Amino acid sequence: MIFETAPAKINLYLHVGPLRHDGLHELASLFVFAERGDRVGVRPAPDLSLNVEGPFAEALTDLPNEKNLVWQAAALLREKTGIRSGAEILLQKNLPIASGIGGGSADAAAALRALARMWRLDVSHEELLDLAFSLGADVPACLRAAPLYVQGAGEQIKSGPPLPRLWVCLINPGIDMPTGPVFRAFDEAHPAPMPPAGILLKTDDYETLIAELKLTRNDLEPIARMQAPEISDVIDFLAAQPGAMIARMSGSGATCFALFASAADAAKAQDCAEANGWWALASPLCMG
Q: Which residue from 8, 184, 30, 199 is spatially nearest to 110, judged by alpha carbons?
A: 8
CA distance 254 to 224: 7
Q: Is the dihedral of CA 58, 177, 99, 192 positive or negative?
A: positive
CA distance 279 to 96: 8
137, 16 in Cβ contact below 8 A? Answer: no
CA distance 85 to 89: 13
CA distance 226 to 104: 25
Q: Which residue from 198, 200, 196 is spatially nearest to 161, judged by alpha carbons?
A: 200
Q: Tell me, yes or no, if 107 is annotated catalytic.
A: no
Q: Tell me, yes or no, if 47 is annotated catalytic.
A: no
Q: Is the dihedral of CA 153, 101, 146, 80 positive or negative?
A: negative
Question: Can you say how many angstroms the Cα of residue 33 is from the centroid of all Cα atoms in its chain?
Answer: 7
Identify the three-state secondary structure at position 151. strand
Could you say which of 38, 138, 219, 265 is catalytic?
A: 138
Could you say which of 9, 38, 107, 219 is catalytic?
A: 9
> What amino acid positions are annotated as catalytic residues?
9, 138
